Amino acid sequence: MPHARVHNFSISLDGFATGEPQSLEAPFGHAGERLHEWMFATRFWDESGSAGVDDSFAQRNTVGIGAEIMGANKFGPPEWQDDPEWKGWWGDNPPFHSPTFVLTHRPRPPLAMEGGTTYHFLDASPAEALAAAFEAADGQDVRIGGGATVVRDFVAAGLVDFMHLVQVPIVLGRGSRVWDGLEAVEDDYGIEAVSAPSGVTHLTFTRKSAG
Ligand SMILES: NC(=O)c1ccc[n+]([C@@H]2O[C@H](COP(=O)([O-])OP(=O)(O)OC[C@H]3O[C@@H](n4cnc5c(N)ncnc54)[C@H](OP(=O)(O)O)[C@@H]3O)[C@@H](O)[C@H]2O)c1
């Protein structure tokens, strides 16, 4: 049975997946690139990178994925909906290579990109969006790509089967937090942790009821 999975989702010690304010110049606000330095150092990101623990986890991001769901704030800076030319941060050939569903209250027609990515803009509940993504994924899994609001909403709705979070040893103090409203989420998941030499901790959450 296909699963809904989160991968490489980096959070600070205090649970923030991005800083603030988000903007065209600073997509992660005051967090800068600090949440993802561990990933930039891997072979997954750059073929001259490391092939250790961090890389092993990072590589799982794409395996068996047939579609992605992301939030409006991952797709672009505030008010990107006012720019008819905005096509996401990732250029003409985005790294998704599959149907990619962008949740927004201001949807627009689908946008076909190079390399197999088609953006579909949806104003729908998490359950409706996931049903559409599973259908598009044609038997493969769906990645819940973030940001924090979308991950939080999908976990709260009981829709996430597997989560790989990467706890980065920084304290951001402000931004968009993943844990708010998810009290006792640990009851629903089997949780494991692996510390990497880079200083990050890989946390995996596997839903107890996942088939
Ligand atoms: N740390 C990581 O690994 C990681 C991973 C991915 C992204 N990020 C970062 O996280 C930040 C974005 O996170 P975020 O929490 O601010 O926002 P987000 O989860 O990307 O998007 C939230 C927005 O999506 C729209 N939305 C969400 N659910 C919806 C629904 N059911 N129906 C219609 N629209 C819906 C709403 O926007 P509108 O009302 O404006 O349409 C909402 O404000 C960015 O900085 C991004 O770069 C970090």
Q: Which residue minimizes the CA distance to atom 41 of ligand 1? A: 104
pLDDT of residue 211: 53
Dihedral (Cα; 40, 150, 160, 69), 10-degree rounding: -70
Is residue 18 within 8 Å of 155, Cβ to Cβ?
Answer: no
pLDDT of residue 119: 98
Distance 197 CA to ligand 1 centre (A): 30
Report which DSSP code applies to 42: B
pLDDT of residue 209: 80
pLDDT mean values, one per 10 residues, the chain (211 residues): 97 98 97 98 97 98 98 98 97 97 98 98 98 98 98 98 98 98 97 98 92 53
Residue 148 Cα: closest atom of ligand 1: 15
pLDDT of residue 169: 98
Q: Which H or E element spans position 56?
A: helix 53-59
Distance 51 CA to ligand 1 centre (A): 30
- For tokens 């800083």, name the residue: 19
Give the CATH architecture of domain 4-76+97-207: 3-Layer(aba) Sandwich (3.40)
Ligand 1 pocket by C-beta < 6 Å: which residues? 9-10, 17-18, 22, 27-28, 35, 71-74, 103-106, 123-126, 145-150, 153, 176
Domain positions in the chain are 4-76+97-207
User: Of the candidates 135, 122, 204, which has an alpha carbon nearest to the alpha carbon of residue 164?
Assistant: 204
Residue 129 Cα: closest atom of ligand 1: 31
Q: Which residue minimizes the CA distance to atom 22 of ligand 1? A: 71
Is residue 186 within 8 Å of 41, Cβ to Cβ?
Answer: no
pLDDT of residue 210: 55
What is each CA distance from 76 to 63, 70, 102, 174, 175, in whole angstroms?
25, 11, 10, 20, 16
Distance 52 CA to ligand 1 centre (A): 30
